């Protein structure tokens, strides 16, 4: 796998990730990513081989706090992965939020991803190109009232989403999204360029 292979986030996947992370903006959250590899997808006028992320599934049975996120019930967790697979869909990785800590993977994140990969393998399926998406949420406070707005732009391989005035006219959120490939043979992580429609 070329390590700089891009990941393309479809709108439906982005909406679920953003809404699920902003459901609890003071607590981490996370879930699974469903997608598939695509050859020659047209992205900004160029044909690229990429991983297309079709949708995300937020895990409901989780334990989380300001700086951690874990499956709260292993049987429930297994039922999610089993049902996704029995519908013939490919699990390609996971996403989780950070609360103002930046969008880099922590040491605990890297250990968790490795364990997840091994756990899936022990259940008889391997995610060969694992991708982990991190969404860092920063709350913004404004002195003046802000109109309800949504902004989205790409910068340095990442995506930044800005939402203003939807809950309180003086509060907004900035969400920075980064993606990382996990190479389980080399036990290495590499940032993946992200694209949107």
Interface residues toward Zn ion, by CB under 5 A:
106, 109
Q: How far is the CB of 135 from Zn ion (least distance, A)?
A: 10
**53 neighbors 9 (Cβ within 8 angstroms):** yes
Q: How far is the CB of 179 from Zn ion (least distance, A)?
A: 13
d(CA 71, CA 64): 9
Q: How far is the CB of 121 from Zn ion (least distance, A)?
A: 22
CB nearer to Zn ion: pick between 50 and 109 = 109
DSSP type of residue 139? E
Q: For the beta carbon of residue 158, count every other beta carbon within 10 angstroms.
A: 18
CB nearer to Zn ion: pick between 106 and 157 = 106
CB nearer to Zn ion: pick between 54 and 106 = 106
**166 neighbors 174 (Cβ within 8 angstroms):** no
CB nearer to Zn ion: pick between 8 and 180 = 180
CB nearer to Zn ion: pick between 65 and 151 = 65
**Ranges assigned E (strand) in the chain:** 7-9, 30-43, 46-58, 62-65, 68-71, 91-99, 130-141, 149-155, 158-164, 171-183, 188-192, 194-195
Please give the residue whose beta carbon sits closest to Zn ion in the complex: 109
**122 neighbors 158 (Cβ within 8 angstroms):** no
Q: How far is the CB of 137 from Zn ion (least distance, A)?
A: 12
CB nearer to Zn ion: pick between 52 and 106 = 106
Q: How far is the CB of 149 from Zn ion (least distance, A)?
A: 28
Q: How far is the CB of 132 from Zn ion (least distance, A)?
A: 8
d(CA 109, CA 123): 21
**130 neighbors 92 (Cβ within 8 angstroms):** yes
């Amino acid at each position: 796998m070329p390590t700089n292979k891009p990941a393309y986030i479809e709108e439906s996947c982005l909406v679920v990730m953003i809404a699920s992370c902003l459901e609890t903006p003071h607590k981490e959250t996370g879930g699974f990513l469903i997608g598939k590899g695509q050859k020659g997808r047209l992205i900004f006028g160029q044909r690229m081989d990429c991983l297309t992320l079709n949708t995300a599934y937020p895990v409901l049975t989780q334990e989380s706090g300001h700086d951690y996120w874990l499956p709260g019930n292993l049987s429930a967790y297994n039922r999610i992965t089993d049902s996704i697979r029995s519908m013939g869909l490919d699990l390609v990785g996971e996403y989780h939020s950070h609360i103002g800590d930046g969008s880099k993977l922590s040491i605990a994140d890297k250990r968790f991803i490795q364990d997840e990969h091994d756990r899936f393998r022990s259940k008889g399926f391997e995610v060969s190109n694992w991708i982990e998406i991190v969404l860092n949420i920063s709350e913004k406070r404004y002195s003046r009232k802000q109109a309800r707005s949504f902004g989205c732009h790409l910068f340095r391989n990442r995506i930044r989403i800005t939402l203003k005035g939807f809950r309180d006219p003086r509060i907004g959120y900035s969400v920075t999204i980064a993606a990382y490939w996990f190479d389980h043979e080399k036990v290495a992580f590499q940032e993946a360029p992200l694209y949107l429609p």
